[in-house]
Structure 1
Amino acid sequence: MIEIDGVHKSFGALRVLRGVSLKVAPGEVAVVLGPSGSGKSTLLRTINHLEKVDAGTVAVDGELVGYRRSGDVLHELPEREILRQRTKIGFVFQNFNLFPHLTVRENVAEAPLSAQRRPKAEVAETVNRLLLRVGLSDKADAYPGTLSGGQRQRVAIARALALDPKVVLFDEPTSALDPELVGEVLDVMRDLAKSGTTMVVVTHEIGFAREAADTVVFLDEGLVVEQGPPDQVIDHPQHERTRAFISRVL
């Protein structure tokens, strides 16, 4: 479902990604671990072309993201085509990114109505179903400012799912939450994982990685240092850098 092949990304002289390759099969959950500054969030943002790659390619469901290939040359797609591709790639941000002037219901409905132009009745049914799924049916007419951080992040997850994406990306979805609110968000993510949603999750929640991930990727200094099943990478890491990181976060 996701194929990242030799991706490089620099910001000026800073090399953030240095030839990252990763495959995620349909229905798999990949958890990306690593220290701050290792390139985790940048990698996630290349998957939906929020960051343009300097070299390499990203494909989702067999389609190159952000580019079309002409022989050996890649040409960047027009913005409207990139926006179309993004409707297939849900993204849950660290800081929610909800529209403060819209209700919960309106936040979740906005993209299906404006980007996909789906019928209002169909979208309304989708919104009701998703709010029930994330446990927020009673908050449909509330505004984000009246919600807890955990509730806002659950709204953000419902919003990402409203587009019926092929994959959902999570960029440290619990790092901005008070500790007592983390569990309610992870519960929703566990439910998604069990339902067969293809997910790439950047997180420091080792318990979630051990329980829900099919594959764990340890990234450091823009390189994939180690990847494999959770019981291998978390419990029996082969690389000294991975062992040092895991020992600090456990």
Structure 2
Amino acid sequence: MPTERQRAMLREMGIGPWWPDDDAARSGDPAASAAPVASPPAAPDAAPVASALDTLSWPALREAVAQCRACALCERRRQTVFGVGNERAQWMIVGEAPGEQEDLLGEPFVGPAGRLLDAMLAALDLTREPGPPERQVYIANTLKCRPPGNRNPQPDELARCEPFLVRQIQLVQPRILLAMGRFAVQSLLRTDEPIGRLRGRVHAYRGVPLVVTYHPAYLLRQPADKAKAWDDLCLAAETLARRGG
């Protein structure tokens, strides 16, 4: 549970309590979502190959993402959404795909979902903003461009964008990964299992402990599951503490 100071911080953000107040049973799972719609035809360049990115520095990787035309999403984006936070953070958060506000601002997790994520982080004394390194996180998405109409990512889009995320994880070298949302979870863990069956235990991604949780946008629609998300964050924090983080 958050401390009283952390509770007050969340209240001041105007979001209200999102931690569990009792042990009442809660239900719901974000696994069922609308079927993806087709992208307009395009002539994308070849997808980036992970091995070709292995030596890229942060500036070079950012430029590679900005210039990417590997799938049709490049045709409609306003800008790419690379990532934000401490580039050597102990915590790395991986989300799904940029939405309209992310596409406008070029930063992941903005708008109501971003404010909820910031509140969740603040409850653990973490932030995406500049500050002590031990309090900072790095945030990235599986996709760097917004799908039209905020539709679900398509498998080929996830596959073409994956090498960029792989290189980001290599550069950050996080001590804990927090995967938020079905597409982030299933991409990193290579599974079709729904979040409800994967959360509550520690997985691994290339040797890095990985904890599964719900996407903040889902929690805004299903606030009863915020209790489960709090449990997931606590599990991630406990896992990091056991590793000496």
The answer to whether TM tops 0.5 is no
Q: Quick check: which one's strand share is greater? A: 1
Bigger Rg, which one: 1
TM-score, normalised to structure 2, is 0.31
